[in-house]
Amino acid sequence: MDSKIRAVGKMTQVEELQRDQIGARLDAMRHQNEHLAKQLTALSELKALNYSGSSKTCSVGLMNLNLVDQMLQKMLNHQRHEQAVMEAQCQSVQKQLQQKAARVHGLEQVLERWRKKQNYEKACRDQKLIEDIINSRLRRRTL
């Protein structure tokens, strides 16, 4: 029973370590997602500024404005796509984290149950030994 308890204890430690690593990865992904959201907001503001400052009517200015607008639109689309991918990855990692947490919890319950069983068996053995000692003393007194 001791070897089983040690094995489950080690498995629990490994699972906890993996859970912590997944949690750290999820935090990093959330920070990256926040950064992408900020970039998306900045690009949207830049595009809005581009339209508000477009009072020039010369053809070169309009061509430049059109090129800038196209570049900003491409960057916005790319950032939106990146943010969607990052959100999907975050959800996936969140599910992995929940699964690991459930597994760690299950292992901890098994470990606790086995320890209780081991303590109960030890208490039974101790009680049996005490009873045997008492019975042997009683037998000696009756002789």
The DSSP H or E segment spanning 32 is helix 2-52
pLDDT for res 50: 64
- How would DSSP label each residue in 63-118? HHHHHHHHHHHHHHHHHHHHHHHHHHHHHHHHHHHHHHHHHHHHHHHHHHHHHHHH
In CATH terms, 2-142 corresponds, of 3.40.50.1980, 3.40.50.1000, 1.10.287.1700, 3.40.190.10, to: 1.10.287.1700
pTM equals 0.61
pLDDT for res 52: 59
∠ CA 84-85-89, rounded to 5°: 115
Q: Using one digit for the tens of pLDDT, what is the confidence trace for 100-119? A: 889 889 989 988 999 999 99
Q: Is 6 helix (H, G, I), strand (E, B) or coil?
A: helix
Q: Using one digit for the tens of pLDDT, what is the confidence trace for 5-28? A: 888 888 888 888 988 898 898 888
Could you tell me the residue ranges of all domains in the chain? 2-142
